Amino acid sequence: MKIGLITLIQEDKHPAPAGHPENAERLQPAVEYVLQSDIADQIKSFIPPLSNTDSIFQIHSPEYLEMAKGISESGGGFLDSDTYVGTGSYEAAWETASASIGAADTIMQGDLKRIFMAVRPPGHHAEYGRGMGFCLINNVAVAAEHLLAHHGLKRVAVVDWDVHHGNGTQHTFYGREDLLFISMHRYPFYPGTGAKNECGAGDGIGFTLNIPLPPGSDDKKYLDEFNMKVIPRLTQFDPQFIIISCGFDSHRDDPLGGMNLTETAFGEMTALLVKVAEKHGEGRVLSIFEGGYNSHANGLCLYNHLKELQTD
């Protein structure tokens, strides 16, 4: 089965400061690796047309967006000590978020069942009124909001296996029952959120599932948690669409993560999600790249991830 690949690495618009880990080189070699592999003929590369961007304004405040745009247009700067904004960064972030909407549309129209977005800047740390943690606009949250608001879906699930907690996505949907947010992450760790008792508020109680993991967690630990907690909760929720916040920074060779996963684990977790998607959501999966700072490891993880996304 062919899967979609959207590549927006944005090296020209969003170049990293010297020595910054969030740079184009963490992703470009990984994409080249899979496009030269034995699964390349099952990959359809494309860029979706710019779509309705209303959902971006539902996810982020106008004041924050204007502030980020202003910093970009005035020569660049930093939102915090880690999160840089160059002269083209706002445009790059907007295009990436718009592409996530286009990807969601493509899947809902039935053109492709599954798409991976090899994109930057990443997004899952960006909250309603601030960017942080290398993230400017929350691509996953934008896509989810678009699906709920413009495609009439009632139940969207986001599974975030980046080594860092997806505080921005949690923050956005914490009081809602139409989105199930599940995050597996190292804890305690940046950004400090993601404790087990963070489970939602108001109508959203029970629709946030945090699975904090100790440093050094390996394949067995992740897959045990996946089978005992993630899959049962997803099955209970009955998702019409699954979005993956797909970080590879829990790989054992990642310089920032401090975890001990092999690339095989990412394939196995993907296969489990595909089975849920096939049973509950017509096979629909959108995966959006987040963290991962070793280009070689990213290539191996991406290969295993895409290979399982191709499975009927």
Residues 175, 201: contact at Cβ < 8 Å? yes
Residues 287, 116: contact at Cβ < 8 Å? yes
- The phi, psi pair for 175, rounded to 5°, reads -105, 15
- The phi, psi pair for 151, rounded to 5°, reads -115, 0
Residues 209, 197: contact at Cβ < 8 Å? no
Which residues are CB-neighbours of 66 under 8 A, at least 6 positions away?
Answer: none
Catalytic residue among 60, 125, 165, 280: 125
Q: What ranges in the chain are assigned the alpha helix state H?
A: 28-35, 54-59, 62-73, 89-108, 139-150, 167-173, 219-225, 231-237, 263-280, 295-309
**Structure-token pair, residue 234:** 């997803």
> Is residue 165 flagged as an active site residue?
no
Beta bridge partners of 115: 4, 286
Q: What is the DSSP string of 68-106?
A: HHHHHHTT-EESSSS-EE-TTHHHHHHHHHHHHHHHHHH
Q: Rounded CA gap, 167 and 174, in Å?
A: 10
Catalogue the active-site residues. 125
